[in-house]
Structure 1
Amino acid sequence: MRLIRMPGPVRRLLPECLWAMPGTGNQLYLTFDDGPIPEETPFVLEQLARYNAKATFFCVGENLVRHPGIARQALAAGHRLANHTHRHISGWSHGRPEFLADVARCQQELNELLPAPEARPLLRPPFGRITIPLARTLDTSHQLVMWDVLTYDYDRDFSAPKCLATAIRATRPGSIVVFHDSLKASRNLRYVLPRYLAHFAALGFTFEPL
């Protein structure tokens, strides 16, 4: 069963996390996990530019090391870079010291790219997997970000048209929407993203970074 929108009881377990942007008008907050990579991130940047859309890229530190130029392109276009750990590791299956060190290493790579370090940088735990004690610890240094809409663009058993229809149906004003600039998501991403942007732009929505 795919949980496109996270149920309220799950959200209440992690009050430290940002799930949606409250009190907004016709604004959506697109996020892209797992990049930057040359195969997919430039495509995303091109599509966003067509609608003057700004987004937040939750970057894997190893990919920042490999492709800093693409990260700089995203920054130059007005997008926000954020932390997705250095090695894309789960907070459920890695010990607390290891996970915290991985977050810190990714943040170091981000800080070398940003004009100035952010006072409270954004962090999305890979797979959304984080323990309550770990969330409380990280809340002192990072704003933890989850999502309101998970597109499942990475799920190859989910057809691209169904992925699009489901994402559109689940989206609300203020939604934080998860896409992936990754090879695994490529088929669905390249179908869904242009159509998703066109649909909501036609309805008068704007797309903002977190």
Structure 2
Amino acid sequence: MQYMVSKPRWMRKLYGPCIWELDTGRREAFLTFDDGPHPSLTPFVLDELAKYGAKGTFFCIGSNIERYPEIYARIRAEGHGVGNHTHDHLDGWRTANKRYYANVQQAAGLIGSRLFRPPHGHVTPFQVRRLRSRGYEFQVVMWSIMSGDFDPQTSAEQCFRNVADHLRPGSIVVLHDNDAAEANLRAALPRLLSEFSRQGYHFPAIPERLLY
């Protein structure tokens, strides 16, 4: 599977006004988890984050919240951030706009967050502008580091290195709490938390209201 660990700045500009990193002026980075809640992996992630006093931001699929409401409730109760990842993991490049926006709104009724991440990172500049407009008012959050945890051709060691070799203050890291990522995430996440906590990093949730 082909993916870019970090998109160059010229490519980021093609998407429109999205958030790719968030430098707070402190030694902070942002761990994000796409596609959950997952019945076994999301609780593992929550347990690992708790060991380091870290917070994640979980971009959830609405239909998975319906399947596992108790896990979503735990994410919120433990103070983590949440964001909208559509109701059915729709691809913005391959879905009619009307259906796409309706699916985002369906998920919004369950998630209650103004943070939005497009599945696969597939979103057009027009869709970004519409999602940010009055009536939607989403902040479209992308990433500066793709871990590759979902890729069967990426080992747990390479997943760790993809993040460790690129992480700096303000980085937004994409990880996944889904079946495809489980083996890599279980191996890489504890190492990342241990290594970068030792280096003095903190891991807050992405705030729901951002200016850019």
Displacement of 1:22 in angstroms is 2.6
Contact residue 39 and residue 183 of structure 1 kept, 8 A = no
Partner of 1:58: 59
The residue type paired with residue 176 of structure 2 is: H
Displacement of 1:24 in angstroms is 2.8
CA distance in 2 between partners of 1:67 and 1:53 (Å) = 23
The residue type paired with residue 94 of structure 2 is: S
Percent sequence identity over matched residues?
A: 40
3-state DSSP class of the match of 1:184? Answer: helix
The residue type paired with residue 25 of structure 1 is: R
Partner of 2:132: 139
Partner of 2:23: 22
Partner of 1:206: 202
Q: 1:127 aligns with which of 120, 130, 133?
A: 120
Q: 1:106-146 CA deviation, whole Å, 9 max, x = no partner? A: 000113xxxxxx5xx00000000001111110012100000
Partner of 1:87: 88
The residue type paired with residue 139 of structure 1 is: R
Partner of 1:98: 99
Displacement of 1:166 in angstroms is 2.0
3-state DSSP class of the match of 2:180? Answer: coil
Aligned residues: 202
The residue type paired with residue 203 of structure 2 is: F
3-state DSSP class of the match of 1:130? Answer: coil
Partner of 1:12: 13
The residue type paired with residue 15 of structure 2 is: L
Displacement of 1:23 in angstroms is 3.9
Displacement of 1:10 in angstroms is 1.3
Partner of 2:210: none
Displacement of 1:2 in angstroms is 3.4
Q: Name the Cα RMSD after superposition.
A: 1.0
Partner of 1:42: 43
3-state DSSP class of the match of 2:76? Answer: helix
3-state DSSP class of the match of 1:177? Answer: strand
Displacement of 1:36 in angstroms is 0.3
CA distance in 2 between partners of 1:15 and 1:199 (Å) = 34
CA distance in 2 between partners of 1:84 and 1:167 (Å) = 22
Normalised by the length of structure 2, the TM-score is 0.93
Normalised by the length of structure 1, the TM-score is 0.94
**Structure 1 moving runs of 4+ over 2 Å:** none
